[in-house]
Amino acid sequence: MIHSPCVAKCGLNDEDICMGCYRTIDEIVAWGTGDDGFKADVWVKLAKRKAEQAKGELGESNSISRKKWQEAEARIALNSTE
């Protein structure tokens, strides 16, 4: 079992990347149902995103709105049926 990178400091930048854990909103929503392969791939991406943030390349963060969360849930549901 691969643990979640969540640090409970959620805030999305303009690219919908959480500035707390560096996951995209779609990755956050899909985490609970994702398999270990998916989760391992996400962890690989996090290191790159964290380095980009350290260089100031990811921008500022904003609170995650319910609308954005619901849109991500809909995308994940649609992708899982394809």
What pLDDT is attached to residue 61?
Answer: 63
Phi, psi of 24 (to 5 degrees): -75, 160
Separation of alpha carbons 49 and 64, rounded Å:
18
* Cα atoms found within 13 Å of the Cα of residue 50, Cβ hemisphere only: 9
Give residue 50's domain range: 1-82
pLDDT, tens only, 7-40:
988 888 888 888 889 999 999 999 999 999 999 9
pTM for the full predicted model: 0.70
16 CB-near residues (< 8 Å, 6+ apart): 24, 25, 26, 68, 72
Number of folded domains in the chain? 1
CA distance to 1, 21, 38, 64, 75, per residue, from 13 (Å): 28, 12, 22, 9, 19
